[in-house]
Amino acid sequence: MNDKIQVITKHALNKSDETRIKTLTSRALAAKHTLESGSGAGNDFLGWLHLPTSIDEKHLQDIENSAAQLRKDCEFVITIGIGGSYLGAKCVIEALSDHFAAYKPGGTKVLFAGSNIGEDYLYDLMDLVRGHKFGIIVISKSGTTTEPGIAFRLFKDMLEKQEGKEFAMRNIIAVTDAHRGALRGLATQEGYVTYVIPDDVGGRFSVLTPVGLLPIAVAGFDIRALVAGAVEMERDGDEQILNYAIARNVLYQNGKKIEILANFTPRLHYVAEWWKQLYGESEGKQHKGIFPASVDFTTDLHSMGQWIQDGERTIFETVLSVGDQQHEVTIPADEKDLDGLNYIAGKNVDYVNKMAELGTRVAHVDGGVPNLIITMPAVTERYLGQLIYFFEKACGVSGYMLGVNPFDQPGVEDYKRNMFALLNKPGYEEQSAAIRARLKM
């Protein structure tokens, strides 16, 4: 097996696509040049492009030292952020963690808040950490985003009352703007250790900044291997990156408007959640863009499988296909064989899973669902680093191929303006009256 992320397109494209492939290959090369030369829209947010190779030893050591401090003092560390300020860290931590680590003693547990406004969620999390030593990683460029702002106010107050100001100062770390914003001001005032979110890196591209690296290190994983994998893809990944960007745009022009990221490995659920934000927020503009969706197989074969097999033919699948598993579990023989499974006795569970994957891919292709395949040798820090950078650069290329700015998100602001008006935030009085009239409240 190759020692790097690979893209297989033969089950998605065919001879009838050759002219379109040729045209879009030229467009992809032009988009790649636009991206790398910094001459396109959003070029003030390209700090992620050469980020892996710019990370130095001192930076990694500083992050590891901060993580060690939190692990020494805390049973729990609550990472507070929303969107790219938490999804990248969560996808890597969930991919590398023991599936049932939360139920096993020992080790500092990394928890997440600020990604929703669920009152019961916050209550339950506060109830969990009450009486236990916990720390906080708060991630926000401005410090005024509503969801993480509420969570940080709650948990900061709780921590200071429970453990005292000195403990809180030592175990609250702020990842924020270098110079500006409410959180930067508070961190300076309170004496928190801080890390910088680079001005030229947007949230959904920030996994390899302290936004992602610090929580991942607190969870006990090897951030050096993660960065090393991303370096490999930055230096030698363009062929695979272009293959993916070209193929998905050929399929889009063929009328495939929905991309379903499918996996047969439960560890990858949050990788798909991160991917959905990356592509949805980057490409969904000017009434353009492939809609990103995801499924966890074989679980979702028993729910979404029917629609994928026989529903409207506006979809294609991108299958994350993992080579090696971390452990082996062999299916035993049973003398009575009442469940009829003796025909696979002696096989590893992963062998059965891989046959399910192959069978599903054949069925879906036969049913008119093109399948792109991304092979991943194993779920490790190194290969996750490769995958993260692969998806990021392919997203930049693909966005420019579509003719949109992949690095802004103007539509995200619309709900915020309405929410602020309905909450009577100062400065939104005029909008409040208009919205309430529309809603007949």
Give catalytic status of residue 392 as yes or no.
no
Give catalytic status of residue 381 as yes or no.
no
C-alpha distance from residue 387 to each of 4, 161, 283, 390 (Å): 9, 42, 19, 5
Pick the closest to residue 219 from 59, 384, 90 (CA basis): 90
The answer to whether the beta carbons of residues 155 and 136 sit under 8 Å apart is: yes
Half-sphere exposure of 420 (CA within 13 A, CB side): 15
The answer to whether the beta carbons of residues 116 and 236 sit under 8 Å apart is: no
Beta bridge mates, 348: 330
- Structure token pair of residue 87: 């999804």
C-alpha distance from residue 379 to each of 108, 127, 197, 226 (Å): 22, 33, 27, 11
The answer to whether the beta carbons of residues 291 and 349 sit under 8 Å apart is: no
Catalytic hit among 33, 165, 288, 416 = 416
Amino acid 25 reads T
State how far the Cα of 314 lies from the Cα of 398, in Å rounded to an integer: 19
For β-strands 315-324 and 371-378, DSSP reports them as: parallel
State how far the Cα of 5 lies from the Cα of 173, in Å rounded to an integer: 34
Catalytic hit among 179, 287, 302, 327 = 302
State how far the Cα of 386 lies from the Cα of 236, in Å rounded to an integer: 10
Catalytic hit among 163, 234, 259, 281 = 281
State how far the Cα of 278 lies from the Cα of 228, in Å rounded to an integer: 21
State how far the Cα of 389 lies from the Cα of 50, in Å rounded to an integer: 10
Give catalytic status of residue 416 as yes or no.
yes
Pick the closest to residue 48 from 243, 201, 251, 224 (CA basis): 201
Cα–chain center distance at 302: 25
Q: Could you list the active site residues? A: 281, 302, 416
